[in-house]
Amino acid sequence: MLCWPISERANSPTVTAANAALTAQLRELGVAAHEARWIVDEFAPGGDIAGSDAVMQAATRRLNGEPLQYILGHWPFRSLDLDVDPRVLIPRPETEELVSIALLQLARRGVRAPVIVDLGCGSGAIGLALLSELDARGVKGALFAVDLSSDALVVARRNALKNHVSAVSFVQSSWFDDVDSSLRGRIDLIVANPPYISERDFELLDPVLSYEPLGALVSADVELGDGFSDVAHIIAESPGWLSPQGTVIIEHGELQAERARRAAHDAGFGSVCTEMDLNSRERFLVCAHQP
């Protein structure tokens, strides 16, 4: 989750002759090449000189440390273009992998019309991408996008509209606390990328993370004080909400995989494994009642 600074992405804008001069100017000021291309493409598309003031303002914000994604105001996640602002975590490329794992699980288990719960939905990245990609395959899912933060839910709702994803209910809740109890035993897929950093570790991380909501990164840690409380809570609560063929997929810290598997066994899951992220780190707990 904590990938920073952003790396070059396959869908980064390319330099055209028209915007090359502006891009070069930003490079001279010290903006990284790929970020300069994003900024020019956003604020002066086609090298439009009328956008050069906006380009310079954006470059200044970036040089002052603000994340590029908040400056642009939107960011790609899988097939979606998501609005992002300081009310929500910037969706990370690693989290795109969680969506692939989830789609595979649903296909493997032959779930038709899945009921999906995205716990801690933030911008809506995981759940909206899932619903959108299932729809493209002719599968109609229903999504419950849950977050404690009402601010995050405003952004997630806007992203659903922007990306034409319907069949979404937005629920303000601390994890399952206020999720409709009629969903007990009926959820085919629970996905979550909860906060999993301890307060102590957060102090040691890149200060650029302080632009993002603290409650999205740092675990409330009432029980453990080591960043694992929210992951542990979701694992312990999930079995009662899952349908018999349901799957839970949780993104966690790279040093938390073994504990997550142990917690899942303790919670009574019959099938427990860990999937790697793109950097071959153990990052996703996948568990289910049935193998």
Ligand X SMILES: C[S@@+](CC[C@H](N)C(=O)[O-])C[C@H]1O[C@@H](n2cnc3c(N)ncnc32)[C@H](O)[C@@H]1O
Chain residues that interact with ligand X, rule: CB under 6 A: 89, 91, 95, 120-123, 125-126, 146-149, 152, 174-175, 193-195, 215-216
What is the gyration radius of the CA atoms in the chain, in angstroms? Answer: 20
Give the contacts of 291 (CB within 8 A, at least 6 positions apart): 270, 271
Reading the block at residue 272, the tokens are 């427990």
- Kindly tell me which of 114 and 120 has the beta carbon lying closer to ligand X: 120
Q: How far is the CB of 252 from ligand X (least distance, A)?
A: 10
Give the contacts of 251 (CB within 8 A, at least 6 positions apart): 1, 94, 95, 98, 192, 193, 194, 196, 283, 284
- Kindly tell me which of 212 and 282 has the beta carbon lying closer to ligand X: 212
Alpha carbons 209 and 197: distance in angstroms, whole number: 12
Q: How far is the CB of 108 from ligand X (least distance, A)?
A: 23
Alpha carbons 109 and 248: distance in angstroms, whole number: 13
Q: How far is the CB of 154 from ligand X (least distance, A)?
A: 12
Q: How far is the CB of 246 from ligand X (least distance, A)?
A: 19
Q: How far is the CB of 119 from ligand X (least distance, A)?
A: 6
Q: How far is the CB of 30 from ligand X (least distance, A)?
A: 29
- Kindly tell me which of 184 and 265 has the beta carbon lying closer to ligand X: 184
Residue 77 falls in which region: left (phi positive, over 0), alpha (psi -120 to 50) or beta = beta
Other beta carbons within 10 Å of 166: 11
Alpha carbons 156 and 177: distance in angstroms, whole number: 20
- Kindly tell me which of 40 and 121 has the beta carbon lying closer to ligand X: 121
- Kindly tell me which of 44 and 126 has the beta carbon lying closer to ligand X: 126
- Kindly tell me which of 144 and 175 has the beta carbon lying closer to ligand X: 175
